[in-house]
Amino acid sequence: MRKAFLSLLLVLTTVLSSIASEKVVYIDIKKVFIQSKAGVDIKNYLQKKADEARNYIQTKASLVDKNNPQAMQELQQEAMKKQQEINELQQRIVNKFTNFIKNAVDEFAKKNGYELVVDKQAVLFGQDKYDKTKEFLTFFDEKYQKEKPKFE
């Protein structure tokens, strides 16, 4: 009787651990930031804004009297202000994008029955079968195309 109980316990433990382990996956969020359609669009948008600010300052610099210290100081202050505006814009966009990713991960996990999704950066070891980055990227790009969120 005791032997049968231990055998049953071993079988149940094995089955339950295999079921539980399949409900824990990881996603490479860094890859999502870099390779997703939304990530690429954001990178291009921020690059465009930075280029516009740089061109504005360069144009203004070409018109400033280089021998006038006050004019040079004003130009420098304006350049610093433009840089700060770009940094603030980048921070706002990244925060909104991060929230969009978090919501998408939640939706993806619920849809697929995952109980725990962790970032690949936090995984010391994980078999490739638990890496759902590719599937999530497909899901995420479809969600982005469908919803067309504004991150600005």
Q: Could you read off the pLDDT of 4-57 as tens digits, one per residue? A: 433 433 443 444 444 445 689 999 999 999 999 999 999 999 999 999 999 999
Question: pTM of this prediction?
Answer: 0.78
Residue 18 lies in a domain: no
> Would 13 be classed as within a structural domain?
no
User: Within a domain: residue 20?
Assistant: no
CB 93 within 8 A of CB 152: yes
CATH number, domain containing residue 105: 3.30.910.20
According to the model, what pLDDT value does residue 66 have? 83
Range of the domain at 78: 25-147
Mean pLDDT to the nearest integer, 64-78: 89
Residue labelled with tokens 């978090």: 102
- CA-closest candidate to residue 75, choices 87, 57, 49: 57
Number of domains present in the structure of the chain = 1
